[in-house]
Structure 1
């Protein structure tokens, strides 16, 4: 049984021991990821399969839905929410609702970007005006200087 006295910190292990442990951890991680991916694929297949219960199948078809386990599960969850099950309602809301906070945040960001672009355009045009004014003053002064030297 592992306890504090049995643990050896990595700083006291040799590089080859650390490499070997990292290899074991990587293999275990890959195995766990594959297992999780396989489970996800199995659920996807099961959810797309036809409903086994003929009564539920007929009920779904009468409502105009596909007679898959996924639709049956959705129907059951909706029925629970209609009976007042708050968790079922929250799950339905989570699955179906567009996250209004995200959409509002994105809209706000778009508006800020537009405002910044307008401000930049105004600043650029005022810089062009300032530059042309400065050039005009410079040439006017230069012309006056030339006129003074000519006389």
Structure 2
């Protein structure tokens, strides 16, 4: 079964389980390591003109925002959906969509801070690993947001079958 077919045929419960395992758990693993790497790059290469100054603070803010967002989904929204209380879920979904816009803006800010992940030629292994990890995180978070907005939330909002 293709991933697209699975998305179309999966139940809300299956989608939520996928979101929790594939994205929530993954983000909780990704962010602490990226923060650690960013702190090291900023400490060691702070005088370099391409050093992503402020990156670790931005990642820490993203971690806090994402953790708060995911907790609301896990403790409030997803239980409402799995219990079939879809009508009441529309209010929290509206809030989650607004927060998704904030997360997308935070992703754009990552691009600014890292010069779109452009590494200087002499970048060390830590700097390279940091940017590799950020690229994966950016793709994961964008896919996570798209799955929730375009599939799960769209179903609850009555926008899709």
Higher relative contact order, chain-length normalized (CA < 8 Å, sep 6+): 2
TM class by smaller structure: under 0.3
Larger Rg: 1
